[in-house]
């Protein structure tokens, strides 16, 4: 199925000359003083209060989460695919590779119909992302598989992880946030 169209130019331009307060938020998002911020944060910082909270919650998943990185990235990439959010997907291709995902696995996560033989735990994570994006509820069979594998604390984290990245994808798509230099788009075969 073809991907829906998305803005090809920013609807909200990234902040070019951030104020001191905006620079604080950008620094909390990992922007070094000698580098330009990622487009997501340079756009989100138009509202510093919201940007600050979004960065904090994102950090709870990326920096301090209990879900192993490879599994976390499976969920994020699948949500990015389901939301047709190329920015989200591209950023997490880079992170996913670092966490051990192969290019073939990443390409499969960008397909509506999977072609790989995923392990049961990975299939459950993919199904969770698909079900949440389609219906905002994880089905019983998927839940049972996840509940066998993860603690209650981790189940909360997984649900919030998928929801957070779905929200971020909607922001990215609607604001027209464009890919940062050097970040890949969709895999060519997906």
Residue 66: the pLDDT is: 96
The tens digit of pLDDT for each residue in 153-189 reads 999 999 999 999 999 999 999 999 999 999 999 998 6
Average confidence score pLDDT of the chain: 96
The tens digit of pLDDT for each residue in 131-141 reads 999 999 999 99
Residue 189: the pLDDT is: 61
Alpha-carbon distance of 170 to 95, in angstroms, equals 20
Alpha-carbon distance of 127 to 122, in angstroms, equals 9
Residue count of the chain? 190
Spans in the chain with pLDDT lower than 50: none
What CATH fold (topology level) applies to the domain 69-175?
Answer: AhpD-like (1.20.1290)
pTM assigned to the model: 0.95
What ranges do the domains of the chain cover? 20-62, 69-175
Long-range contacts of 118-125 (CB under 8 A, 24+ apart): 120/145, 121/71, 121/145, 121/149, 122/71, 122/74, 124/149, 125/71, 125/74, 125/75, 125/78, 125/158
């Amino acid at each position: 199925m073809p991907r829906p169209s998305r803005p090809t130019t920013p609807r909200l331009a990234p902040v070019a000359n951030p104020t001191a307060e905006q620079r604080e938020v950008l620094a909390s998002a990992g922007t070094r003083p000698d580098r330009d911020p990622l487009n997501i944060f340079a756009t989100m910082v138009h509202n510093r209060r919201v940007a600050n909270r979004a960065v904090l919650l994102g950090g709870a998943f990326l920096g301090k989460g209990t879900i192993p990185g490879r599994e976390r990235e499976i969920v994020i990439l699948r949500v990015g695919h389901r939301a047709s959010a190329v920015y989200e997907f591209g950023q997490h291709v880079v992170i996913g590779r670092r966490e051990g995902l192969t290019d073939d696995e990443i390409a499969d996560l960008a397909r509506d119909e999977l072609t790989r033989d995923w392990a049961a735990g990975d299939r459950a994570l993919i199904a969770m992302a698909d079900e949440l994006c389609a219906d905002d509820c994880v089905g019983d069979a998927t839940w049972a598989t996840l509940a066998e594998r993860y603690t209650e604390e981790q189940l909360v984290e997984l649900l919030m992880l998928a929801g957070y990245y779905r929200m971020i994808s909607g922001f990215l798509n609607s604001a027209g946030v464009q890919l940062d230099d050097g970040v890949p788009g969709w895999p060519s075969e997906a």
